[in-house]
Amino acid sequence: MGAQESKGGSYGLMGPSSVVANMNRQAQLARQWALLHQCSLEQWKHGHGEAAGFKETTMTCSNLVFKDCSPTFCTSRQGLININKHSKGFSFRRKNKFTKMAEHFEYNHIPAQLSSIQNFHVKSVLCYRENTVVLHLVRNMNTMFGIIDISSNKFLGIFGKQMVEFFNSVLRGEITPDGLYCMIKIPGLKTGNNSFQFQLYDLKTRNIVAQITTPYDTSLFAFDPRFCSSRFAATSFVQGEDNSLSLVRTRSWEVFATNPRVDDMRPSNHPVLKDLFFSKDGYLIFAIMVTDGCNCKDRKSRRLQSVDVSVYIFNGDTSQTLHCIQYHRYTCGQHLCPVNYLPVFSQCGSRMAILLNDSETATDHIQVYKLPTPLGLQNRCRIRILQQNLSEDIEKLPLPGRLIQYLQFKPEYP
C-alpha cells in the first residue's frame, strides 16, 4: 500500500495517552505494511510521536545538505547552533564560510593546535555510530579523516590522507556495527578514470585493510547490523547492472545475492537514489528514491509540483523486493537536508513513520506503518520489551550482557 492511498484518513484528534492504546491494539490486528496511525506534524511533535514509540520526532530541517548537514548528520536533530566564539587560543579562519556543523566540531572537539597551528579545517561529518564520529578534514587542500570520541571529548587521530581536496558530496562513509572499522566511498585518483573505490579502514590502527574499485560512481552501501563487520549491502556493485542491489561479504568482496531491479521504473539508480540503510534488526533493506532536480522554489510556494519519494524495501537475506511506499513532499531532494524526506523508525523497530503532503493541502502530516518482523519468540519479546521501556533504561534491566546487546540491536561480538 502506498502512502497516497490513505490521504482521506483522520489527523488523529486523540491525545497522546489514547495513541498508545490505539497503536498497540491496531498493531496486533493489522497486517504488515498496514497504516497504524495518522496525525499532523504539530501533533507528532507534541506527544503523538513519543506515544507511538518513536524517540526521534524531528522530521524537518531547513539547512543545506553537504554544507550545514550531511547525509548521516543533521544539525537540527543534534540541536547544534552557530558558535561564533572569539578566543586568543582558537580562531576560525574564513569565518563567514564556516557552517554551524564545522564550527561546533572545531570549537568543541578538535585540539586547538590542529586548527590554529597545523591549519586543519572541518568540512563535514562523514559518519558516526554511538560515540564515535568520523570527520572530513582538510589541510593544505588535502582531504583526510579524523576520529573523535564524543563521550570523552578526545580527538583520536587522522587516517586516509588523500592527495587532493574532495567535495563533501562525493564522499560517503559508515562505521561498522562493531565500531572497529570505517568504510569510505571515495573517488579514484587515476588520470582519466572516473571510478570510485570502497576503502575499509581499521579505526584502531588507522590503516587501510581492504579496498575495491566499484563499476559505477553511483554505488551506495550499508552494513548489516546483525553482523560485526562481515556483511554489507551495496547498489550498482556488479558490472553491467546499474540498477541492482547486492549483498556482499566484506574484504573478500564476494557477492552472494543480487537483485537486478531496484527501481522498476528506471534503467539506472542515478541520480534518484539518495540513501540505503538496513532496519534496526537487519531483516529489511531500504532504498530511498527522490525526484531529480532542484525544487526549492516549489517548496516555498507550495503551488507547484512536489517531489515524489519512493521507499523500496528488500529482504536483508536475499535482496528480494518486498514492498514500495510512495508519497509526496514539498522539499528539495538536491539541496535540502535529507531529514525532510527520510522515514524514521520506532524504538522497537517494528514501525516506520513518514512525513508527507497531500496535493490538495499544504498541511504536513505523519503516517505510521507496520513493518514485517521475524516471527520468532526471541524477536517478539524484544519488540515487547522495547515498547515498554525507554532506550536509555535498557542497560539497567536485570539481564545478561548478551541479552542487553540483543535488545539494543547490536551484533554478537566475539
Mean pLDDT of 287-307: 76
**Measured CA distances, 277 to 182, 285, 388, 397 (Å):** 15, 6, 26, 29
- Is residue 38 helix, strand or coil? strand
Domain assignment of residue 261, yes or no: no
List, for residues 113-162, the tens digit of each pLDDT value.
Answer: 455 445 778 888 999 998 899 999 988 889 999 999 888 888 888 999 99
Of 169, 189, 214, the one marking the end of a domain is: 214
Whole-number Å distance between alpha carbons of 127 and 173: 6
Compare 6 and 125 and report the one with higher pLDDT: 125
Residues of the chain above pLDDT 90, percent: 44
- With 50 as the cut, is the pLDDT of residue 9 above it? no
Which grid cell sits at 246?
Answer: 547486492
Domain assignment of residue 351, yes or no: no
Of 148, 179, 214, the one marking the end of a domain is: 214
Whole-number Å distance between alpha carbons of 169 and 389: 38
- Is residue 386 helix, strand or coil? helix
What letters, b where the CB count within 10 A reaches 16 and e where it falls short, cover 362-400? eebbbbbbbbbbeeeeebeebbebbbeeeeeebeeeeee
**Measured CA distances, 267 to 22, 93, 246, 378, 412 (Å):** 42, 45, 16, 40, 38
Whole-number Å distance between alpha carbons of 117 and 111: 10
pLDDT-derived band of residue 106, with 50, 70 and 90 as boundaries? Answer: low
Q: What is the mean pLDDT of the chain?
A: 83
Domain that holds residue 122: 65-214
Evaluate whether 219 touches 236 at the Cβ level (below 8 Å): yes
Domain assignment of residue 71, yes or no: yes
Domain assignment of residue 128, yes or no: yes
Q: Residue 203: phi, psi to the nearest 5?
A: -75, -20
Compare 95 and 35 and report the one with higher pLDDT: 35
User: Would you state the pLDDT for residue 85?
Assistant: 39
User: Would you state the pLDDT for residue 300?
Assistant: 60
By CB atoms closer than 10 A (0-12, 13-18, 19+), residue 345 is buried
User: Would you state the pLDDT for residue 224?
Assistant: 96
R_g (Cα) of the chain, nearest Å: 22
Least confident of 57-66, 267-276, 342-351, 356-365: 356-365
Residue appearing with cell numbers 552472494: 256
This prediction's pTM: 0.88
Structural domain total, the chain: 2
Domain assignment of residue 320, yes or no: no
Residue appearing with cell numbers 513532499: 329
Q: Distance between the two ends of the chain, CA-based, in angstroms?
A: 41
Mean pLDDT of 161-166: 92
- With 50 as the cut, is the pLDDT of residue 314 above it? yes
Cα angle 258, 260, 265 (rounded to 5 degrees) comes to 145
Domain assignment of residue 285, yes or no: no
Residue appearing with cell numbers 548521516: 72
Whole-number Å distance between alpha carbons of 267 and 270: 9
Whole-number Å distance between alpha carbons of 229 and 249: 9
Least confident of 28-32, 52-56, 142-146, 220-224: 28-32
- With 90 as the cut, is the pLDDT of residue 102 above it? no
User: Would you state the pLDDT for residue 330?
Assistant: 86
Nearest to 261 by CA among 307, 312, 218, 328: 312
Domain assignment of residue 72, yes or no: yes
In the chain, what are the helix, strand and coil shares in percent, each to the nearest 5? 20, 30, 45
Whole-number Å distance between alpha carbons of 210 and 199: 6
User: Would you state the pLDDT for residue 269?
Assistant: 80
Of 214, 243, 277, the one marking the end of a domain is: 214
User: Count of CB atoms within 10 A of residue 357's CB?
Assistant: 20
Whole-number Å distance between alpha carbons of 369 and 352: 5
- Is residue 73 helix, strand or coil? strand
Cα angle 261, 170, 120 (rounded to 5 degrees) comes to 155
List, for residues 42-63, the tens digit of each pLDDT value.
Answer: 999 988 999 888 988 899 998 8
Domain assignment of residue 8, yes or no: no
